[in-house]
């Protein structure tokens, strides 16, 4: 059990990281669906770690050949090797984290628990600063959570090195497991973030180095990602190429201008700087459509070298499995996505007014099924879902769009699904169940407008039935009760309620139904944050 990390321990940790990432490389590649599903996160993390370890190993060997003279701080050597050899988006972030650790640890005479916790926090902050447009639910989130857990351990008096590294590793793992619900791409694929999973392996390797016993962990999270294969041909429209280069003979002001320009040209921008014997160099990574413009920007900023350009070829799943059936449901909020996922269907999370047919197509093909039903669950999503279905049929899939205009119609359709029926018969049953469900919703007006119930103003509560506003009021509960009374005046045996963030609204409506419509069966779901205040279905 180590009380502090010395030079030899840094070397052993670096070797353990390479071994761990090498063993997990294929699985990490398989998990890679964000920011681009190009299946190379494990490979890029491993190559970056190998570059760092090779530099450190060479420096330690040179020191041994020189009679045991202590070389430059091993933290600095490891970080420099990783930055100069970083590959891809995930590799650049790993290199930045190692450089952040080096900044905090290189001059420390003894790296104990408290010192390491401080360095992990600083490294996480610098990693966020290196990424042009950081998102939560990613590699960065996992790294920050691990650092926060280490800091918490120190604050609680658990300052031993072993306690701190265990806390960091456990905190990162907890954050990793939560990433599936934080990003739509991860939720749709049912996997954790690949880069974050790699960082958990790096921290577990540190636990093993410090304690002598590596943590026993469950397999890397999520169901196996669908195997993806690149489609031959030119890059797809948009940021279709990965450009990466080292930049020398520059300065911070020029690099800042470069970052601004590259951010306007593409995405997935990461810029990491490191000091070398010849001066400061930066590793620049970006996804762009215009490769020439990106390289030209690098030339204006300094001297780009070791330039690599990789086409981000469009990825598609393999051929459909004959006879396999699936349902794809669209959802506009995380709570609705979880609701549909609980019914065993593939979920595509997208804004009601911004459904992209390419995303629908990917979701359909991604099921790997030959027969697919699509539930748009919003009037504005029906047309793009139909176009995606046409394209999927051209690729040999039997795809039918059941034109559900509300999530409650989608839930009603799923309630009667029966995979034992013939596909065509099952589609008819789903469509009939959806059509037999009258749907309504309670919303809040965001602008002045003339509706079928009169003029509304921003902040007014609107009760709509089948897409037409029938009630305008100031109180959501009052509007919801009036809306339900109108719907049930035409009859109904069951009311389905999907309640948004305000649970009290659901309580009020449920109590009203119990008192005024006692024979109506009520089924209530939580729509969660982002969902409309209330969705209603009456059957």
**Do 533 and 527 form a contact (C-beta atoms < 8 A)?**
no
Nearest CA to 229 among 77, 29, 3, 527? 29
Most confident of 64-78, 424-438, 488-502: 424-438
- Pair (65, 207) in one structural domain: yes
- Pair (411, 523) in one structural domain: no
Q: Mean pLDDT score of the chain, rounded to an integer?
A: 86
**Binning pLDDT at 50, 70 and 90, where does residue 160 land?**
very high
Of all residues in the chain, the percent with pLDDT exceeding 70 is: 90
- The domain boundary residue, chosen from 435, 454, 473: 435
Evaluate whether residue 235 is within a structural domain.
Answer: no
Evaluate whether residue 133 is within a structural domain.
Answer: yes
In the predicted structure, residue 26 carries a pLDDT above the cut 90: no
Of all residues in the chain, the percent with pLDDT exceeding 90 is: 53
- Pair (153, 189) in one structural domain: yes
- Pair (425, 442) in one structural domain: no
- Pair (90, 202) in one structural domain: yes
In the predicted structure, residue 477 carries a pLDDT above the cut 70: yes
- Tell me the C-alpha distance between 403 and 381, whole Å: 9
In the predicted structure, residue 319 carries a pLDDT above the cut 80: no
Structural domain of 323: 319-435
Evaluate whether residue 525 is within a structural domain.
Answer: yes
**Binning pLDDT at 50, 70 and 90, where does residue 306 land?**
confident
CATH code for the domain of 453: 3.30.1180.10
- The domain boundary residue, chosen from 227, 258, 273: 227
Lowest mean pLDDT among 134-148, 214-228, 329-343, 487-501: 214-228
**Do 249 and 302 form a contact (C-beta atoms < 8 A)?**
yes
Phi then psi dihedrals of residue 356, to 5 deg? -100, 130
- Pair (465, 405) in one structural domain: no
In the predicted structure, residue 284 carries a pLDDT above the cut 80: yes
Q: In what order do the strands lie in the sheet with 461-465?
A: 468-473, 461-465, 438-444, 534-538, 494-499, 521-526
Assess whether the previous peptide bond of 35 is cis (omega < 30° from 0): yes
- Pair (222, 276) in one structural domain: no
Mean pLDDT, to the nearest integer, of 153-174?
Answer: 94
Evaluate whether residue 458 is within a structural domain.
Answer: yes
How many other CB atoms are found less than 10 A from the CB of residue 15? 16
Nearest CA to 480 among 459, 458, 501, 465? 465
Exposure string of 343-365, with b = 16+ CB inside 10 Å and e = fewer, is: eebbbbbbebeebebebbbbbbb
In the predicted structure, residue 81 carries a pLDDT above the cut 80: yes
Strands 229-230 and 534-538: unpaired
Evaluate whether residue 247 is within a structural domain.
Answer: yes
pTM over 0.75: no
- Pair (207, 255) in one structural domain: no
**Binning pLDDT at 50, 70 and 90, where does residue 222 land?**
very low
- The domain boundary residue, chosen from 256, 286, 315: 315
- Pair (159, 19) in one structural domain: yes
Evaluate whether residue 495 is within a structural domain.
Answer: yes
pLDDT recorded at residue 190: 75
Evaluate whether residue 234 is within a structural domain.
Answer: no
CATH code for the domain of 155: 1.25.40.340
**Do 103 and 81 form a contact (C-beta atoms < 8 A)?**
no
pLDDT recorded at residue 236: 41
- Pair (403, 348) in one structural domain: yes
Q: What 3-state class would DSSP assign to 41?
A: helix
CATH code for the domain of 259: 3.30.70.120
Tokens standing for residue 112:
């104990």
- Pair (425, 450) in one structural domain: no
Evaluate whether residue 448 is within a structural domain.
Answer: yes
pLDDT recorded at residue 83: 93
- Pair (504, 522) in one structural domain: yes
pLDDT higher at 33 or 61: 61
Most confident of 2-6, 219-223, 475-479: 475-479
């Amino acid at each position: 059990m180590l009380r502090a990390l010395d030079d030899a321990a840094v070397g052993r940790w670096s070797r353990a990281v390479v071994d761990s990432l090498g063993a997990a490389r294929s699985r990490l590649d398989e998990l890679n669906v964000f920011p681009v599903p190009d299946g190379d996160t494990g490979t890029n993390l491993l190559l970056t770690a190998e570059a760092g370890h090779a530099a450190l190993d060479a420096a330690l060997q040179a020191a041994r050949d020189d009679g045991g003279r202590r070389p430059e701080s091993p933290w600095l050597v490891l970080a420099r090797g990783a930055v100069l050899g970083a590959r891809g988006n995930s590799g650049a972030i790993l290199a930045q984290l190692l450089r952040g650790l080096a900044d905090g640890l290189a001059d420390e005479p003894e790296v104990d628990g408290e010192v390491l916790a401080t360095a992990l926090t600083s490294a996480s902050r610098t990693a966020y600063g290196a990424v042009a447009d950081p998102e939560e639910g990613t590699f960065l989130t996992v790294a920050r959570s691990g650092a926060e857990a280490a800091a918490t351990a120190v604050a609680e008096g658990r300052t031993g090195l072993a306690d701190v590294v265990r806390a960091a590793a456990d905190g990162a793992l907890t954050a990793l497991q939560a990433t599936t619900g934080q990003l739509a791409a991860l939720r749709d694929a049912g996997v954790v973030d690949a880069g974050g999973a790699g960082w958990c392996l790096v921290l577990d390797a540190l636990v093993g180095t410090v304690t002598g016993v590596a943590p026993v962990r469950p397999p890397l999270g999520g169901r196996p990602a669908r195997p993806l294969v690149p489609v031959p041909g030119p890059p797809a429209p948009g940021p279709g190429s990965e450009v990466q280069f080292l930049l020398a003979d520059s300065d911070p002001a020029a690099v800042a201008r470069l970052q601004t320009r590259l951010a306007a040209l593409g995405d997935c921008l990461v810029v990491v700087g490191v000091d070398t014997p010849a001066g400061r160099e930066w590793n620049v990574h970006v996804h762009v459509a215009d490769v020439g413009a990106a390289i030209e920007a690098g030339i204006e900023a300094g001297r780009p070298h070791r330039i690599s350009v990789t086409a981000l070829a469009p990825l598609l799943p393999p051929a459909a499995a004959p006879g396999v059936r699936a349902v794809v449901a669209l959802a506009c909020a995380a709570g609705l996505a979880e609701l549909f996922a609980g019914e065993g269907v593939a979920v595509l999370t997208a804004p009601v007014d911004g459904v992209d047919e390419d995303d629908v197509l990917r979701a359909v093909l991604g099921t790997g099924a030959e027969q697919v039903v699509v539930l748009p669950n919003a009037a504005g999503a029906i047309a793009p879902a139909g176009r995606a279905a046409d394209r999927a049929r051209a690729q040999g899939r039997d795809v039918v769009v059941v034109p559900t205009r509300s999530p409650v119609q989608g839930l009603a359709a799923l309630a009667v699904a029966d995979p034992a029926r013939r596909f065509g018969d099952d589609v008819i049953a789903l469509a009939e169940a959806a059509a037999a469900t009258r749907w309504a919703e309670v919303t809040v007006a965001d602008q002045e407008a003339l509706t079928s119930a009169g003029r509304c103003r921003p902040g007014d509560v609107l009760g709509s039935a089948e897409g037409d506003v029938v009630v305008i009021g100031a109180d959501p509960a009052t509007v919801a009760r009036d809306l339900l009374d109108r719907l049930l005046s035409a009859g109904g045996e069951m009311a389905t309620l999907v309640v948004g963030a305000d649970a009290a609204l659901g309580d009020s409506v449920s109590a009203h139904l119990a008192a005024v419509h006692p024979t109506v069966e009520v089924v209530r779901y939580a729509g969660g944050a982002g969902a409309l205040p209330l969705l209603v279905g009456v059957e």
